[in-house]
Amino acid sequence: MLADKMEILKESIPFLLKGAFMTIELTTFAVVIGIILGTILGLARVSHNKLLNGIAKAYIEFFRGTPLLVQLFLLYFGLPNIGIDISAYFAAILGLGLNSGAYVGEVVRSGIKSIDKGQMEAARSVGMSYPQAMQYVILPQAIKRVIPPLGNEFIALLKDSSLVSVIAVKDLTRQGRLIISRTYESFLIFAAVAVLYFIMTFIMTRIVNYAERRLSISD
């Protein structure tokens, strides 16, 4: 009995690992999109341009105010319905990335806001333009402050990425469900899935802590 279960687990591991790598891949792409988009949104949120600010705010409120699952459905089932074809893989990355961008945008905004306004004034007073002051003075300081919240953000994103399993992307959760549909070993397999997620978030937490320590050295 136990030997049977061990055998099933052993056979499942390559599939689960494949799923885990897909989860990492999706999360990585989504993080990249999230950082780029979030930085743009964050900068727009602190700019004095009312239009830019308004657009960024509306974007952030929409993506934070609706469920990620519904956003994924909208991309994967909704877009083809209005004539835009999109693969499950691409819909997953886009959905996670667009969603993450909204949260990162808020983190970036509060990071910039946390820098003493004397820094901007000092930079401007020596003749730097606003973009130069942002680039050389404000953002390098803000980055240190946003590393911990961003790290938490991306750990949450990795876990939330399990939602893409419902739009037929073969991530870790999906692989687990496929194995269960053949073996009916739902406790065993979901436990294995949970352990794999835990290992991934555990490693990510260590990386974030390391980055935090490294960046705080010059303080």
Partner 1 sequence: MIKVEDLHKSFGELEVLKGINEEVKQGEVVVVIGPSGSGKSTFLRCLNLLEDITAGKVYIEGEQINSPQADIDLIRQETGMVFQHFNLFPHKTVLDNITLAPIKVKRLNKKEAEKIAYELLEKVGLKDKADSYPSQLSGGQKQRIAIARALAMQPKVMLFDEPTSALDPEMVGEVLGVMKDLANEGMTMVVVTHEMGFAREVGDRVLFMDHGIVVEEGDPEQIFTNPQEERTKEFLAKIL
In the set 28, 87, 129, 205, which binds partner 1 (CB under 8 A)? 129
| Binding segment toward partner 1, per CB under 8 A, in 26-34, 51-59, 128-136, 165-173 | 128-136
Binding flag, residue 123, partner 1 (CB under 8 A): yes
Q: What length does the chain have?
A: 219
Question: What is the residue type of 181?
Answer: S
| Binding segment toward partner 1, per CB under 8 A, in 36-44, 121-129, 154-162, 202-210 | 121-129
Cα–Cα distance list, 52 to 46, 48, 56, 173 (Å): 10, 8, 6, 38
Binding flag, residue 128, partner 1 (CB under 8 A): yes
208: Cβ contacts below 8 Å, ≥ 6 apart: 147, 148, 151, 152, 154, 155
Nearer Cβ to partner 1 (124/159): 124
In the set 119, 152, 183, 201, which binds partner 1 (CB under 8 A)? 119
Cα–Cα distance list, 60 to 20, 57, 79 (Å): 29, 5, 21
In the set 18, 57, 144, 177, which binds partner 1 (CB under 8 A)? 144
Nearer Cβ to partner 1 (1/126): 126
